Homo-oligomer: A and B are copies of this chain.
Amino acid sequence: MYPVERTLCPACRSRQRGGGRTDARGGGPARAGPAHSAGDFGRGKAHQPLPACAGCGDACETAPGKGCLPVKLYSSVLSPYARKVRAAIHALGLQDRVEIINVNISASPAEVVNANPLCKIPTLLGDDGTAMYDSRVIVEYLGVVAGSDMLVPAAGMARCMVLRTQALGDGIADAAILYRGLLAAGIAPDAGPAVRQMAAVERGLAALERMARESAPDAVARPDAGALSVGCALGFLDARFAELGWTGQYPALAEWYARLCRVDCMRRSASQDTAGTCPSGASYR
């Protein structure tokens, strides 16, 4: 979608509109265009560096931290994927640049549909109308904005291993959410589709237990995207599958998780702790 015709970066356009900085509260910024247009479709324009901003001289491509400001994160309290993004925002120190807006996604709110045709949370919507989704892409994007590979290593096998752990955490959450969805739709817990989803959760936890046993105790102090994904999936199980009692079955994982939960970005992304950091002041409950 990349609007290559743009001559001012978002920060300069915001200043031109009278704001000293990009206003995270919104206030109806002009949208540069639909959230989906050409350029990123089959190795098109998006692969070219952007022209430098006519105002400050920044080229987003080369200095994304300066010119590209994310603005709104459509979120929900209990979504493990949205929480992963909130935790990433805190880990990267971007909390005062993102307004977190809780939505009821099953009501297909127009602002989310306009930004993300899949109508899912989390969806990130920039001041210029650029939307990012899903959670893994947002985490990558936030790293670009912050100019940091703290959450996802920049290259090589280290990158792949973090991404795989992220896929494992997301996959456990996917299976748990699908299990709940099947039951809500009237499927019996012992029917094949439900059994398969719960088996994936159980096997995922067992794999995490093995990983936790071999993990260095201090490895969790600066969690990457894989650890955040796993932590948020475990938090979701605590909230929605308390009857699983997973902490009793997987002691090394429980200990790892307890340490992770004390890390600042995990604490602040938990539902009870995030309201204070939301520019809109909206409650997370």
Which A residues are within 8 Å of any B CB, using their own CB? 1-2, 34-47, 50, 60-62, 64, 68, 106, 108, 113, 117-120, 131-134, 136-137, 140-141, 144, 153-168, 171-172, 175, 178, 181-182, 184-187, 191-193, 196, 199-200, 203-204, 206-208, 210-216, 219-224, 226-227, 230, 256, 260
Contact = CB atoms under 8 A, between A and B. Distances in A.
A211 B34 CA distance: 10
Given A199-B108, A200-B118, A211-B1, A133 B164 contact: yes
Contacts of A47: 153, 158, 224
Given A37-B214, A41-B230, A64-B156, 18 more contacts: A1-B211, A35-B207, A36-B211, A37-B210, A38-B216, A41-B165, A41-B256, A50-B157, A68-B157, A117-B168, A118-B172, A133-B167, A133-B171, A136-B163, A140-B159, A144-B155, A186-B186, A186-B187
Contacts of A212: 38, 41
B210 A34 contact: yes
14 contacts: A36-B210, A36-B211, A38-B214, A38-B215, A40-B161, A40-B164, A42-B219, A46-B161, A46-B162, A133-B168, A137-B167, A140-B163, A144-B156, A144-B159
Given A117-B168, A133-B167, A136-B167, A156 B44 contact: no
Contact of A215 (B44, B154, B155, B206): B44
Contacts of A256: 41-42
A63 B185 CA distance: 50
Contacts of A182: 185
Contacts of A61: 156-158
